[in-house]
């Protein structure tokens, strides 16, 4: 994979120019994307800044995120050719920091769950996941050092696990969602894909201006291993990855404890869909009322479910989520991080499904930072998920880096 940190080090050393770094991505795209299909548009002549902490870093932008220089089509025919007049806030920030918004990456329609035609870079017969299919596949295939995705249920962490790259869903609203097509205003979170955890930390610090995010160190962290038993059993490969990650964490000096989550967390998990669907029905109100017959089947089903959700049910779900967040905050008084499954298993053998987000929903609802750490092994990639307290993105990244280093060592 293309490492952001490696590219930046070569640029700083004078052995690579920012334009040369972007050309490396173009060459990789030309070689690999015909068999993957991760992109919907590529800028033929982007501005390439010479300065800034992200100078020379080509970024893939999920196609629900507005770009002024490239179309934003939301993975749909309804918005085919649509050209926003302004960049989304996160895209503008990337450019301010020197990055190049090189390409738009595929997304499921409206970032829901109708599959794209993108293929997993490790096996073309398997899904790359969704909804951030193109972003995960582009980084996992070594075509880009950085890509943006969004997560409302599991659309950053799960595809990263399937495609074998690192990813972070930061704390809720750490990265602005202004200029990002809304599905659920209480859940939608902009996330990042990169080759490794260090790359994520550097990029997140540069984007948010919080330099400490990439500088936190951790020694003998207290890690709660959580199986999320309420989410049904995972596949053997996911079990094996979690066991491998636990052993690596313990080798690195972490203290790992088994933890069964309190019932308030399971109750919130059960209500995630009520919040998601109720808000989606309103966020996509024009599409639902004016173009219902043209909506893809999964989108239409979700919006119809939201249409049938009573406000009282939605309000009850919000109360349960609020209660669960308080309980989770208390748990982080005893632990520095949570370690759990990123996905139920490797990418499914199908392009007709984006996979199951059941191990991601709770943490998105809680608004806490989640980091996917790829676990080396035979066969298709499988990752594990490191979760931190709300606002503790640096700590979550530090624990994830400790595990990543131990796995690689």
pLDDT, tens digit, for every residue of 31-51?
999 999 999 999 999 999 999
pLDDT digits 0-9 by tens, 319-367: 999 999 999 999 999 999 999 999 999 999 999 999 999 999 999 999 9
Cβ neighbours for 148, distance < 8 A, ≥ 6 positions apart:
59, 60, 61, 62, 65, 90, 91, 135, 190, 191, 192, 193
Residue 215's pLDDT is what? 75
Starting at the earlier edge strand, list the strands of the sheet with 166-169.
Answer: 39-42, 100-105, 58-62, 146-151, 189-194, 166-169, 370-375, 382-387, 337-341, 222-226, 255-259
Question: 103 in helix, strand or coil?
Answer: strand
Annotate 304-328 with b (16+ C-beta within 10 A) or e (fewer).
ebbeebeeeebeebbebbeebbebb
pLDDT at 216: 74
User: Residue 349: its pLDDT value, please?
Assistant: 96
User: What is the reported pTM?
Assistant: 0.98
The pLDDT of residue 219 is 84
Per-residue pLDDT tens digits of the chain, which is 409 residues long: 999 999 999 999 999 999 999 999 999 999 999 999 999 999 999 999 999 999 999 999 999 999 999 999 999 999 999 999 999 999 999 999 999 999 999 999 999 999 999 999 999 999 999 999 999 999 999 999 999 999 999 999 999 999 999 999 999 999 999 999 999 999 999 999 999 999 999 999 999 999 888 877 778 999 999 999 999 999 999 999 999 999 999 999 999 999 999 999 999 999 999 999 999 999 999 999 999 999 999 999 999 999 999 999 999 999 999 999 999 999 999 999 999 999 999 999 999 999 999 999 999 999 999 999 999 999 999 999 999 999 999 999 999 999 999 999 8
What DSSP string describes 302-347? HHHHHHTS-HHHHHHHHHHHHHHHHHHHHHTTT-SEEEEESSSSSP
Distance from C-alpha of 194 to C-alpha of 306, rounded to nearest angstrom: 34
Domains of the chain: 4-214 (3.90.1300.10), 222-267+316-408 (3.90.1300.10)
| Contact between 265 and 232 (Cβ < 8 Å) | no
How far from the centroid of its chain's Cα atoms is residue 266's Cα? 22
Give the pair of three-digit tokens for residue 14: 């004078």
Write out pLDDT tens, residues 254-292: 999 999 999 999 999 999 999 999 999 999 999 999 999
Q: Between vectors from CA 112 to CA 109 and to CA 117, what angle results, nearest 5°?
A: 50
Spatial distance between the Cα atoms of 374 and 244, rounded to a whole number of angstroms: 11
- What pLDDT shows up at residue 214? 80
């Amino acid at each position: 994979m293309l490492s952001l940190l490696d590219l930046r080090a070569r640029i700083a050393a004078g052995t690579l120019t920012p334009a040369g770094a972007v050309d490396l991505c173009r060459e990789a795209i030309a070689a690999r994307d015909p068999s993957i299909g991760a992109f919907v548009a590529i800028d033929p002549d982007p501005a390439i800044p010479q300065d800034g902490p992200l100078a020379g870093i080509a970024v893939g932008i999920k196609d629900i995120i507005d770009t002024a220089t490239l179309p934003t089509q939301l993975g749909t025919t309804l918005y085919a050719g649509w050209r926003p007049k302004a960049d989304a806030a996160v895209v503008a920030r990337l450019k301010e920091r020197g990055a190049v918004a090189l390409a738009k990456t595929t997304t499921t329609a409206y970032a829901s769950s109708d599959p794209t035609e993108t293929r997993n870079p490790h096996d073309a017969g398997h899904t790359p996941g969704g909804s951030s299919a193109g972003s995960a596949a582009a980084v996992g295939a070594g075509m880009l050092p950085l890509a943006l995705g969004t997560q409302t249920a599991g659309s950053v962490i799960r595809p990263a696990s399937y495609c074998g790259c690192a990813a972070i869903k930061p704390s809720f609203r750490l990265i602005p969602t202004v200029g990002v097509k809304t599905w659920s205003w209480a859940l939608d979170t902009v996330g990042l894909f990169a080759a490794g955890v260090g790359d994520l930390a550097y990029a997140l610090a540069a984007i948010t201006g919080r330099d400490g995010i990439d500088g936190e160190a951790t020694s003998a962290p207290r890690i709660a291993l959580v199986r999320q038993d309420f989410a049904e059993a995972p596949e053997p490969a996911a079990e094996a990855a979690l066991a491998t990650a636990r052993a690596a964490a313990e080798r690195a000096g972490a203290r790992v404890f088994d933890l069964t989550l309190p019932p308030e967390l399971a109750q919130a998990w059960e209500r995630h869909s009520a919040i998601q669907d109720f808000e989606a029905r309103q966020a996509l109100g024009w599409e639902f009322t004016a173009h219902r017959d043209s909506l893809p089947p999964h989108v239409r089903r979700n919006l119809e479910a939201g249409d049938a959700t009573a406000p009282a049910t939605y309000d009850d779900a919000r109360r349960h989520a609020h209660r669960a967040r308080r309980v989770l905050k208390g748990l982080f008084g005893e632990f520095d991080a949570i370690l759990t499954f990123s996905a139920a298993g490797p990418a499914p053998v199908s392009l007709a499904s984006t996979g199951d987000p059941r191990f991601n929903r709770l943490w998105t609802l809680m608004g806490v930072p989640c980091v996917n750490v790829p676990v080396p092994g035979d066969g298709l990639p499988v990752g594990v998920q490191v979760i931190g307290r709300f606002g503790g993105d640096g700590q979550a990244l530090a624990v994830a880096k400790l595990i990543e280093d131990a796995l690689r060592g």
